[in-house]
Chains A and B, each alone.
Chain A
Amino acid sequence: MTDRTVAVLAGGLSHERDVSLRSGRRLSSSLRDTGLYVEEWDVDAKLLSRINSSRPDAVVIALHGGAGENGAVQSVLEMLGVPYVGADPRACRRAWDKPTAKDELARAGLSTPEWITLPHATFRDLGAQDVLDALVARLGLPLILKPPQGGSALGLHLVREVAELPGAIVGCLAYGDSVLAEGFVEGIEVAVTVLDGPDGPQALPAVEIDATSGFYDYAARYIAGLATFHAPARLDSAAAAAVADLAVNAHRILGLRDVSRTDMVVTPDGVAQFLEVNVAPGLTETSLLPMAIESTGAHLGTIYATLIEGAIARSLR
């Protein structure tokens, strides 16, 4: 394994560049612990020439948001014939767009909070007040607003009062042209990592998020003291099985590969409700996937080194 050269892609131009750089650093350090030769590459206009000149044995994508999760970088790597860890471009696109993922999983019978996706043009053309009234009539309050694409809870809003709604929508629209409105589900928020193994996709222990505000937004993710985490989650065995099943099913149905992290809520009656899935989950010192791995006694670098070997083997088939 020591002969392998691995490129970790991080940074890029998405709104999540900062988190991505931290993910890249953490992953690279962990992979070096396993004896791999690792280079950290920021993604810019020189990426293709860099890949062609360096020809790494494999690439790991630690890019969050945008090109790293919407299949764009994966398409380039396919084009260049470079093995990479993670889902193929088509699966990435399905997971990246939250309404698409929710729709596919709901049609497959998985539970997910009711949702409506509204482009800015709908508010503009049909009258904002009427659309807002209809939205509240349909989903009720409180509700969650978020950009249909993107992560790190950027643009995420919990709306408890009607008066908060316009501002939250405008805040969301700063990140894109549409808003995903979702009914707010009370319960325990958990994240479940799924890894592909010899026996197919397997769920790691769920990580439970206990946000002091009751809402796991950007601040709770990155400001110490606003959330605590429990790994494994403090769930009874039935709920633990339910969240594992949901994550594995989401991984399978969306056609994901190698690794994914599904975020969900467990309702008081034990039902796991899908929120979203990430094909390039955060790998920082405070991210949920490394917590899940550590809760099993395993090492992040070892896990990803195994995935890298799998990606290389896949490319040789």
Chain B
Amino acid sequence: MLEIRDLHASINGKEILKGINLTVKTGEVHAIMGPNGSGKSTLSNVLVGHPAYEVTRGSVTFNGKNLLEMSPEDRSHEGLFLSFQYPVEIPGVSMVNFMRTAVNEKRKYLGLEPLNASEFLKLMREKRAVVELDNKLANRSVNEGFSGGEKKRNEIFQMAMLEPKLSILDETDSGLDIDALRIVAEGVNKLKTSETSCIVITHYQRLLDYIKPDIVHVLYKGRIVKTAGPELALELEERGYDWIKAENNG
């Protein structure tokens, strides 16, 4: 599904990613862990085409297509979704209007007729249930006045609406209490099929108690320095990152 080869990227002239190699197959869940400043968020931003980042070398193919040539919106239409670490507020734009525009833009890209109002509202109702999102939130402006937990839940709700092939969850667990964490993680699990893949970016094991990864990577100083099974996450939880740092600084 996703094939990253020797990816280098920088922001404001400073190189952050220094040669990432990563292959995500259909149906897999990958966890990317690592200490602060290792380049985890940069990787997710580069994949979805954030204009602040510059790719200086390497390639990314997504279902056979050159991802780096696509506009951010086309990457979305092709099935790439990012659950933002810090979802922005868009005052005045209702969630209904926002999602309807997003869903119909994707349908247009796929050559489908736009959903009419009643079809759309039915879809909203179904998908809200996945993350137990309150109807009141769905009628508010995008993320405006939402608590941290509500914002993250809203991200997963949007993921449910857009039915992506590959979802990147960027520190979705940060700022969540244990109940919110459970709801969000259960939402992600409900949406997971054998046809979809997921990259979970996190500092901590606790999210991985709910979302079971097939493969765990450790990102450090812009490179993937360790790749193993789920047991690696447990080891990191126990031992911290210092031994990784020591191995790579030596």
- A and B pair up: no
List residues of B whose CB falls within 8 A of some A CB.
Answer: none
List residues of A whose CB falls within 8 A of some B CB.
Answer: none
